[in-house]
């Protein structure tokens, strides 16, 4: 860390800044254009979810817990359901599992579209956000049809999902997937092969393999550093072991470019998974009866459940004392690793113009760091 | 022998009877550890290849007067999470910091210090993390009454309270024991 | 930068870009098209006030506390409902729809309407009704399958009909602990069932205690207003279950059998309830040892008042013992609870008929107050040709004789006339006495039968043949006076203007016959006022037909110090009403004697 002198500049990125999804600020000390030191400043989004959860019945937490994260709320719901199901040893109906996969992967697509727009916006290519956010709306339309909500779906419940798919839903999903695949070609031309994009992102914000492992980096960020790690493969939750998909392992440089391209390739893999899920989806019930929402109890014990979100490994550490309320719920958001200690380390010495792009390329989402 | 069993055996042979190790399920090993053994354990596991400091969390067991600190480590090679549980006294809770072993513990310890009031000995910066100008007891402790806080701070009332307490009958009948 | 690419930094080739000229934009359509929300969209609440029962479960489940129950003074609630209606605060509502999923009646729904535009903050908080409904099939609707509630109850295990009709043993097997707890979970604790219970038992409280497997606590709650919990837990008419919120769309919680289960789990009530050591130095006489008197005596003793019951028969229990067959209420249950009441210090004088062995006036002189709980013991007859003589029984007498262990001879082909619970008891008792064929004749339709559904189903399962809309007109006897046939006609349901229910009108032109050798008439019972001297019949106020005594809120008749309760007072004529009357009378007597200050 360079020594900070009196006449060095101090900047604040955020709390409202296009480089950060959500309200969070970074305090920057810079010498000229070079960053000497960066210090994350949290607290703008702290809503105390972990405390609120402790005062609500298990079932009442589903509308609450997903509000942690806007771009991809479903992971929270699914994790809470998974934790309860694991502690109570509930068998989830097959059809519900498939619907969950579809929901999770659609959410990943939506989150990646958000991400593409964000990175492009941070570079200054403002057409791409307009395209991707617009295309994301088609996925939100699907969610609206399936779950009744566009952004916050509140669709999961203990032992399944709340409603069966509406009639003709599968065909409409396939239609949107076809459209997105077609659009991906446009994105490639407009963005991923764009010379400006290549120039701005290659070799910038490098998180190499060692750094990534040292700072507990997970998800696409880790894969872009050349470590082939995906929770869906390593510890297949739900029924991910039944699907044929690859974890792309082409880009290994750990720079902004690799991270964006990694997500670009995974986008196509998610589409593959959804197609398979729709193809294989069996009939039957989609949920189980919990009999009384106010008296639903979870066996005493604790568990750590995790899944692969669009940002990385998302985990819940859930403790139950056998009562109607959760005893403790700790949300392990990937941004807690990516946005704090890692940024302190890698941002040092980078150019001030690149910092918002680096932050966005790491997909730092303050809400899941602060809860 | 599965990976989990190997890890269990290795921890048991290294730390002896001080540590109780359980295999919770596939991919999850839990080690119940006394307070003074946590740092050696972290150091040992780091050297064994547990590179990922997944999380550090705290559970307030108010009835027992204990805090339970849970360190969650992960190794890509073994594909196993080791959860190290240790119970420390609730009043004047202290714990040696783990940042010298895992620097990722830096912000987790700041958070737990702020939310539960656990002092991490040797931590260089236990300052404000998420809260601002917090005067009361640490808010994630079980004895922090959120309802009272909300009523005092925002003047909001609990709407459900009155509705669901049944009105007592004027005379509850001679059969009642009270 | 490579050549051939757009100068503006756009990476698209020229022809690629061309296709966007004709593409529809994602966002704002020109000309403007309103985006229709999806069918399942969760918007503003809609509440059907006709269906809503104001149980408050929506307010209870709301994560955001957006729902508040507001009293609507203009509504007059029906049984099992309140005049509360949910008011939603859209500053808090998160449109999760869990209120819809927990709604027991399905009155609540989220419509696809989502626009509330106002500059007044108060407009965002209102009591939803049907005004903003987007029509059926749209919005987040409640249905039984996806509801958070389970509308299916745990059925009470019964013995096989073929086996059970051979003896007088209990037909029910009773819940196992697992089943009981599994069923007790369903109780939402909304306490609307209490409205249905004549004595207002603490139902949610005792069911919750059962769920926690704390049966003693449960029994403690029961004894507050019912000294015969296990009896009620076996044979009660369970009006509470009709008032249960689940009853609107599915099966109510098994309140009755859960009560019986918990009471059966506690062998010694004394440990739980204790024996009152109070002394009040007052004496009360009670006529008849039925549920009304037992309940009254129990609560009098709890306050230290001496209670003496005069019973004409040799056994206690009244209709519980003499009217209800043993296969429905085993002796062990009845005697357990009566013994406990006796243990409280209640004295029962058996075999003393008031009016014969001791006069009513004597009782009035000897005691500080008198409670009349004589009940309905005289069975009615139809008065058709041939109904006098051998082979014709009235159900009350028949059941009493069977229960007292007297030998009763009936034939092989039995006709039971009537459609109430007593008629069902008569048919099934006849089967157990050896009848091979039992026909039940009822003049109205099957649905009009006053008997409870499970009694009807149980009787049918045991092989009783239901002949509804039939009316016997003559009992035919042979030379020796034995019954050979019963002539009957069919009836037709005619709905008259202003009538509450359709009236059966016999079609007299077509007379048919059954081959029958025994007839049991279960067409109603009457009180027996013979113990009252004539002058007292004038003093005490009766209703028009001399069927019921008219009492005030304390169960006191027009004569000071004379109280009454049970079947002779209220037309509901069931055990739980009698128990409620008895308890109310006990409180009234205590007030009258002024010992509670």
Q: Is residue A32 part of a domain?
A: no
| Nearest Cα residue in chain A from C93 | A63
Task: Give residue B131's domain range.
Answer: 3-164
How would you label B125-145 residue by residue, b for 16+ Cβ within 10 Å and e otherwise? ebeebbbeeeeeebbbbbebe
CATH number of C275-377+526-593: 3.50.50.60
Which residue in C1, C42, C187 is closest to A195 by CB distance? C1
Helix (H) or strand (E) holding C508: strand C503-515
Beta strands in C22-120 (DSSP E): 45-47, 67-71, 84-89, 108-110
pLDDT at A305: 92
Which of C13, C18, C29, C63 to mutate against chain A (most A CBs within 10 Å)? C63
Structure tokens at A230: 């995906």
B177 contacts C302? CB cut-off 8 A: no
Cβ–Cβ under 8 Å, residues B86 and B38: yes
pLDDT at A319: 93
Task: Render pLDDT for B84-107 as a digit per residue (tens, 0 to 9).
Answer: 999 999 888 888 998 888 888 888
Let me know if B40 is exposed, middle or buried by CB neighbors in 10 A (0-12, 13-18, 19+).
Answer: middle
3-state secondary structure of A368: helix
Q: Does domain C169-272 have CATH number 3.40.50.150?
A: no
Structure tokens at C206: 């005792």
Q: Is residue A20 part of a domain?
A: no
Phi/psi for A345 (5° steps) reads -80, -50
Q: How many CB atoms lie within 10 A of CB B86?
A: 21
pLDDT at A274: 92
Q: Is residue A34 part of a domain?
A: no
What is the Cβ-side half-sphere exposure of residue A213, based on CA atoms within 13 angstroms?
A: 14
Chain C positions touching B169 (Cβ under 8 A) are: 200
CA C259/CA C237 separation, integer angstroms: 13
The alpha-carbon radius of gyration of chain A (Å, integer) is 21
CA B34/CA A159 separation, integer angstroms: 37
Cβ–Cβ under 8 Å, residues C434 and C450: no
**CA separation, residue A317 to residues A50, B72, B81, B140 (Å):** 11, 10, 12, 15
Q: Report the CATH number at residue B155.
A: 3.30.460.80
Domain ranges of chain C: 32-149, 169-272, 275-377+526-593, 381-494+501-523
CA B168/CA C200 separation, integer angstroms: 12
Chain B positions touching C84 (Cβ under 8 A) are: 163
C189 contacts B177? CB cut-off 8 A: no
Q: Is residue A15 part of a domain?
A: no
C100 Cβ neighbours under 8 A, 6+ residues apart: C58, C108, C109, C110, C140, C141, C142
CA C288/CA C475 separation, integer angstroms: 35
Q: Is residue A41 part of a domain?
A: no
Structure tokens at C204: 């949610």
Q: Report the CATH number at residue A231.
A: 1.10.645.10
Nearest residue to C74 (alpha-carbon basis) of C64, C66, C65, C84: C84
A135 contacts C63? CB cut-off 8 A: no
Under-70 pLDDT residues of chain C: 1-13, 26-28, 595-597
Q: Which residues of A touch B (CB under 8 A)?
A: 42-43, 46, 48, 50-52, 54-55, 86, 213-216, 218, 227, 229, 234-235, 302-304, 313, 315, 317, 319, 327-328, 330, 332, 336-337, 340-341, 370
Q: Is residue A145 part of a domain?
A: yes
Residue B52 touches chain A, beta carbons under 8 Å = yes
CA B49/CA C357 separation, integer angstroms: 98
Nearest residue to C226 (alpha-carbon basis) of C574, C590, C483: C574
- State the CATH class of domain C381-494+501-523: alpha beta
User: Which chains share 3+ C-beta pairs under 8 angstroms with B?
Assistant: A, C
Cβ–Cβ under 8 Å, residues C273 and C219: yes
A340 contacts B107? CB cut-off 8 A: yes
Cβ–Cβ under 8 Å, residues C111 and C134: yes
Under-70 pLDDT residues of chain A: 1-4, 6-7, 18-19
Measure the CA dihedral A215/A220/A221/A227, to 10°: 70
Chain C positions touching A67 (Cβ under 8 A) are: 94
Binning pLDDT at 50, 70 and 90, where does residue B169 land?
A: very low
C-alpha A344: how far from chain center = 21
CA A184/CA A177 separation, integer angstroms: 10
Chain A positions touching C187 (Cβ under 8 A) are: 292
| Nearest Cα residue in chain B from C583 | B173
Let me know if C89 is exposed, middle or buried by CB neighbors in 10 A (0-12, 13-18, 19+).
Answer: middle
Q: How many CB atoms lie within 10 A of CB C252?
A: 22
Give the number of residues written for chain C. Answer: 597
Which residue in B163, B172, B177 is closest to C59 by CB distance? B163
Percent of chain B whose predicted confidence (pLDDT) is above 90? 12
Q: Is residue A301 part of a domain?
A: yes
Task: Give residue A220's domain range.
Answer: 46-370
Whether C275-377+526-593 and C381-494+501-523 share one fold: the answer is yes
- Tell me the three-class secondary structure of A170-189, residue by residue: HHHHHHHHHHHHHHHHHHHH
pLDDT at A101: 92
Q: Is residue A24 part of a domain?
A: no
| CATH fold label, C32-149 | Alpha-Beta Plaits (3.30.70)
Which of B26, B130, B154 to mutate against chain A (most A CBs within 10 Å)? B130
* Number of folded domains that form chain A: 1
Nearest residue to C308 (alpha-carbon basis) of C356, C350, C361, C359: C350
């Amino acid at each position: 860390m360079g020594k900070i002198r009196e006449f060095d500049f101090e900047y604040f990125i955020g709390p409202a800044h296009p480089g950060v999804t959500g309200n969070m600020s970074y305090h920057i000390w810079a010498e000229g254009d070079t960053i000497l030191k960066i210090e994350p400043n949290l607290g703008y989004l702290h809503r105390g979810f972990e405390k609120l959860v402790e005062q609500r019945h298990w079932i009442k937490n589903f509308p609450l817990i997903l509000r942690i994260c806007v771009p991809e709320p479903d992971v929270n719901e699914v994790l809470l359901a998974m934790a309860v199901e694991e502690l109570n040893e509930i068998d989830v109906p097959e059809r519900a599992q498939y619907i969950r996969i579809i929901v999770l992967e659609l959410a990943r697509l939506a989150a990646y579209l958000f991400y593409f727009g964000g990175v492009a916006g941070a570079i200054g290519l403002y057409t791409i956000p307009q395209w991707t956010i617009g295309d994301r709306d088609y996925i939100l339309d699907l969610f609206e049809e399936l779950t009744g909500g566009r952004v916050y779906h509140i669709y999961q419940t203990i032992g399944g999902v709340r409603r069966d798919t509406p009639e003709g839903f599968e065909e409409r999903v396939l239609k949107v997937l076809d459209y997105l695949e077609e659009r991906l070609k446009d994105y490639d031309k407009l963005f991923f092969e764009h010379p400006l994009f290549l120039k701005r992102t290659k070799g910038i914000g490098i998180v190499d393999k060692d750094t990534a492992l040292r700072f507990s980096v997970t998800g696409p960020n880790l894969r872009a550093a050349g470590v082939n790690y995906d929770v869906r493969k390593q510890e297949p939750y739900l029924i991910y072991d039944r699907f044929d998909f690859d974890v792309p392992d082409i880009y290994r440089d750990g720079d902004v470019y690799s991270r964006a391209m990694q997500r670009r390739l995974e986008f196509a893999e998610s589409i593959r998974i959804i197609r398979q899920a729709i193809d294989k989806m069996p009939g039957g019930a989609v949920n189980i009866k919990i009999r009384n929402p106010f008296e639903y109890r979870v066996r005493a014990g604790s568990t750590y459940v995790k899944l692969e979100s669009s940002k990385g490994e998302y985990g819940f550490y859930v403790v139950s004392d056998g009562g109607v309320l959760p005893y403790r719920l700790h949300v392990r958001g990937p941004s807690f690793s990516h946005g704090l200690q890692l940024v302190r380390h890698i941002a040092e010495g980078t150019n001030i113009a690149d910092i918002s792009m680096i932050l966005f390329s790491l997909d730092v989402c303050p809400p899941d760091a602060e809860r | 022998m599965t990976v989990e069993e190997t890890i269990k055996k290795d921890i048991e042979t290294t730390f002896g009877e001080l540590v109780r190790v359980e295999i919770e399920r596939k991919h999850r090993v839990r080690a119940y550890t006394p307070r003074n053994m946590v740092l050696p354990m972290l150091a040992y596991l780091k050297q064994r290849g547990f590179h990922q400091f997944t999380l550090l969390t705290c559970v307030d067991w108010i009835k027992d007067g204990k805090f339970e600190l849970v360190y969650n480590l992960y190794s890509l090679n073994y594909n196993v999470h080791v959860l190290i549980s240790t119970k420390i006294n609730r009043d004047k809770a202290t714990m040696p910091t783990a940042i010298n072993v895992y620097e990722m513990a830096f912000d987790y310890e700041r958070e737990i210090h702020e939310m539960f009031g656990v002092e991490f000995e040797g931590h260089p910066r236990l300052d404000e993390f998420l809260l601002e100008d917090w005067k009361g007891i640490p808010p994630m402790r079980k004895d922090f009454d959120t309802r009272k806080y909300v009523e005092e701070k925002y003047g909001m009332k609990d709407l459900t309270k009155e509705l669901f307490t049944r009105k007592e009958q004027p005379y509850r009948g001679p059969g009642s024991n009270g | 930068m490579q050549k051939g690419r757009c100068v503006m930094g756009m990476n698209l080739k020229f022809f690629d870009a061309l296709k966007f000229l004709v593409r529809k934009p994602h966002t704002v359509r020109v000309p403007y098209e309103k985006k229709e929300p999806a069918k399942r969209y969760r918007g503003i609440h809609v509440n059907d006030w006709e269906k809503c029962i104001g149980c408050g479960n929506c307010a209870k489940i709301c994560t955001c506390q957006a729902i508040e129950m507001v009293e609507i003074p203009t509504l007059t609630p029906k049984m099992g409902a309140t005049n509360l209606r949910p008011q939603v605060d859209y500053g808090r509502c998160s449109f999760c729809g869990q209120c819809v999923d927990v709604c027991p009646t399905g009155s609540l729904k989220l419509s696809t309407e989502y626009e509330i535009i106002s500059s007044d903050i108060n407009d965002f908080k209102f009591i939803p009704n049907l005004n903003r409904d987007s029509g059926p099939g749209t919005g987040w609707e409640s249905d039984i399958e996806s509801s958070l509630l389970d509308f299916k109850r745990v059925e009470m295990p019964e013995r096989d009909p073929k086996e059970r009709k051979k003896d007088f043993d209990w037909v029910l097997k009773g819940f196992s602990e697992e089943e009981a707890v599994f069923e007790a979970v369903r109780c939402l604790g909304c306490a609307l069932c209490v409205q249905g219970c004549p004595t207002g038992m603490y139902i949610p409280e005792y069911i919750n205690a059962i769920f926690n497997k704390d049966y003693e606590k449960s029994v403690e709650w029961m004894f507050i207003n019912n000294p015969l919990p296990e009896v009620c837990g076996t044979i009660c008419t369970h009006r509470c279950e009709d008032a249960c919120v689940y009853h609107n769309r599915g099966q109510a919680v098994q309140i009755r059998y859960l009560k019986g289960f918990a009471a059966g789990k506690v062998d010694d009530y004394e440990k739980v309830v204790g024996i009152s050591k109070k002394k009040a130095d007052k004496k009360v006489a009670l006529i008849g040892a039925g549920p009304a008197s037992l309940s009254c005596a129990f609560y009098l003793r709890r306050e230290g008042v001496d209670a003496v019951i005069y019973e004409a028969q040799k056994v206690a229990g009244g209709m519980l013992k003499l009217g209800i067959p043993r296969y429905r209420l085993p002796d062990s249950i009845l005697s357990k609870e009566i013994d406990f009441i006796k243990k409280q210090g209640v004295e029962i004088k058996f075999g003393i008929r008031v009016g014969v062995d001791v006069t009513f006036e004597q009782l009035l002189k000897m005691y500080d107050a008198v409670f009349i709980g004589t009940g309905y013991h005289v069975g009615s007859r139809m008065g058709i040709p041939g109904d006098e003589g051998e082979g014709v029984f009235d159900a009350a007498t028949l059941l009493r004789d069977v229960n007292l262990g007297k030998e009763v001879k009936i034939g092989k082909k039995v006709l039971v006339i009537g459609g109430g619970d007593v008629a069902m008891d008569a048919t099934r008792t006849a089967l157990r006495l050896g009848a091979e064929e039992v026909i039940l004749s009822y003049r109205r339709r099957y649905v009009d039968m006053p008997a409870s559904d499970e009694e009807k189903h149980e009787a049918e399962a045991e092989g009783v043949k239901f002949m509804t809309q039939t009316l016997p007109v003559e009992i035919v006897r042979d030379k020796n006076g034995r019954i050979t046939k019963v002539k009957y006609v069919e009836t037709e349901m005619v709905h008259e203007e202003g009538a509450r229910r359709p009236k059966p009108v016999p079609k007299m032109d077509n007379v048919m016959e059954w081959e029958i050798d025994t007839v049991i008439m279960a067409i109603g019972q009457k009180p027996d006022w013979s113990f009252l001297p004539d002058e007292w019949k004038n003093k005490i106020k009766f209703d028009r037909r001399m069927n019921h005594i008219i009492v005030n809120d304390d169960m006191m008749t027009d004569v000071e110090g004379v109280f009454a309760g049970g079947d002779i007072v209220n037309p509901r004529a069931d055990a739980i009403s009698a128990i409620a009357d008895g308890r109310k009378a006990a409180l009234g007597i205590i007030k009258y004697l002024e010992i509670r200050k």
